[in-house]
Amino acid sequence: MTSEKLKSMKNNKIEKEENREKAFEYKEIKLSDIALNKENPRFEKAFSETETIQKIIEDQGAKLARIAEHIIDDGFNPT
């Protein structure tokens, strides 16, 4: 692969990252302001937020543990 092709690929990657950042508005919110969708089609229907959380943990427990470990080790910024 030529150096021009590599440079072009790198520039495209940078441009995509910049566009992705522009597509979102970042806000700090309180955790208590987040409401879970009890009818989320990815999980079994729940009757309360507590039950919703239990179903998410049952379904995604291993992933949640990995995310928690990553946050502990590296902080909230994934880069």
Tell me, yes or no, whether 65 lies in a domain: yes
Average pLDDT over the chain, rounded to an integer = 81
Q: Please state, in angstroms and as integers, the Cα–Cα distance from residue 26 to each residue in 20, 21, 29, 71, 76, following that order.
A: 12, 9, 10, 18, 14
Q: Residues for the chain: how many in total? A: 79
Q: Which amino acid is at 65?
A: A
Helix (H, G, I), strand (E, B) or coil at 5: helix
Residues 6+ apart with CB under 8 A from 40: 52
Tell me, yes or no, whether 7 lies in a domain: yes
Domains contained in the chain, number: 1
Tell me, yes or no, whether 39 lies in a domain: yes
pLDDT tens string 17-53: 766 666 777 788 898 898 888 887 877 788 888 888 8
HSE (CB half, 13 Å, CA atoms) of 22?
6
Q: Which domain holds residue 70?
A: 3-74
Tell me, yes or no, whether 12 lies in a domain: yes
Tell me, yes or no, whether 44 lies in a domain: yes
Output the pTM of the full model: 0.46
Tell me, yes or no, whether 11 lies in a domain: yes
Tell me, yes or no, whether 79 lies in a domain: no
